[in-house]
Structure 1
Amino acid sequence: MPRKAPTAAEVTASVAAAGDWLGDIARARRQNSPLGDEKVGPHRAVVAAAVRGTLSLLEGDLPGRSVEVRVPPFGAVQCVEGPRHTRGTPPNVVETDAGTWLLLATGEVSWTEAEDAGWLKLSGIRAGDIAVALPVVRPAK
C-alpha cells in the first residue's frame, strides 16, 4: 500500500523540530566554519521526516521525471516535466546533504548561495530547474 503524502502542515512541523540545528548550520556555513554539520543535531528520525516531507512537497510542486533530487541517506525524488529516464543514472541530478537541502527547502539559503558555495552536486543542464519551486515550506519563526 503506498504511503500517504504528508500535508504541508505536517512537513512544516517536522522542519520546525529541526529548526535550531538548521540555524546553527546556516550560521556556521556562512562563516566558513567546519563545524556546520558536525554539531550534534536532532535525532536522525527528525531529520529523516523533515527531508522526506520536503522532498515530497517538491515532487508535488514540480511533477515529472526529468530531474532527480537526492538527499542521501534519507531520500530521492524525481520531478520537473520533460524527458524522463528509465535506467541508470539520470542525466539531471541534484545531490546534497540533509542540512543543505533543508536550508534550501525552507528558504534559509538561496539556490545561488548554495550553488556558489559548492554545497550542491549538480549534473545536467536541467538540474537547476528545481530552484523555481524553492522554498517548499516556510516554518514559523
Structure 2
Amino acid sequence: MPARLRRASLAEVRAARAAVADGSAGRPELKLLVKHYLAVLEEKAPGASVEVRVPPYAAVQCIPGVRHTRGTPPAVVETDAATFIAVATGETPWSDAIASGKVFASGERTDLTRYLPLT
C-alpha cells in the first residue's frame, strides 16, 4: 500500500493559496496544495475503491467500497491541479467541474459531492 500523503501546515496552505489567488503560483505551490487536499480527501473518505488522480502531482485511493489492487482501477477521477484546488476549496462546485469537462470521472462512487469542499 502506498504511503499516505501528508497535510501541509496551515501557514504553508495559506501562502500557497495566496499565490494562487494573485496569479503568482508556480509548480511548488500547486504541488503543495494538491497533495494537501488529496491528504484531506484520504482522511475524509478512507477506502480504496476510487483512484483520484491529479497529474503530475499525486494520486490517492479513497472512498469506501471494493478495494482495487492491480491494473487500471474500475473507478477513476482525474483532473488538473487548478480544477482540483477549485473544487477542493469550494470555489467551483463539483457538478460544474464535471459539466465543463475539466474533471473526468468514470465508474461507481466517483461523485465526490458529499466530500467537498475539503476545507
**Superposed pair shares fold, TM > 0.5:** yes
Higher RCO structure, 1 or 2 (CA under 8 Å, sep 6+): 1
- Which of the numbers 4, 18, 21 marks the counterpart of 1:19? 21
Structure 1 residue ranges without an equivalent (≥5): 22-40
* Off by >6 Å, runs of 4+ in structure 1: none
Q: How does 1:92-103 map to 2 (within 5 A)?
A: 92-103=75-86
SS at match of 1:136: coil
Q: 2 CA distance for matches of 1:121 and 1:15?
A: 24
Query: How high is the sequence identity, in percent, across the aligned residues?
Result: 44
1:90 aligns with 2:73: yes
Q: Which has the larger radius of gyration?
A: 1
Q: 1 CA distance for matches of 2:9 and 2:40?
A: 7
Q: 2 CA distance for matches of 1:90 and 1:4?
A: 19
Cα distance change, pair 3–131 in 1 and its aligned pair in 2 (3 A): closer
Contact kept, 8 Å, 2:5 with 2:36, in 1: the verdict is: no
Give how far 1:124 is off.
0.3
**RMSD, aligned CA:** 1.9
**What residue is the counterpart of 1:24 in the other structure?**
none
**What residue is the counterpart of 2:101 in the other structure?**
118
Contact kept, 8 Å, 2:7 with 2:35, in 1: the verdict is: no
Per the normalisation by structure 2, the TM-score is 0.87
1:134 aligns with 2:116: yes
Q: 1 CA distance for matches of 2:105 and 2:81?
A: 15
Q: State the Cα deviation string for residues 69-127 of structure 1 (Å, max 9, x = none).
A: 00000000111111011100111100000010000011000011111111111110211
**Which amino acid in the other structure matches residue 77 of structure 1?**
V
Per the normalisation by structure 1, the TM-score is 0.74
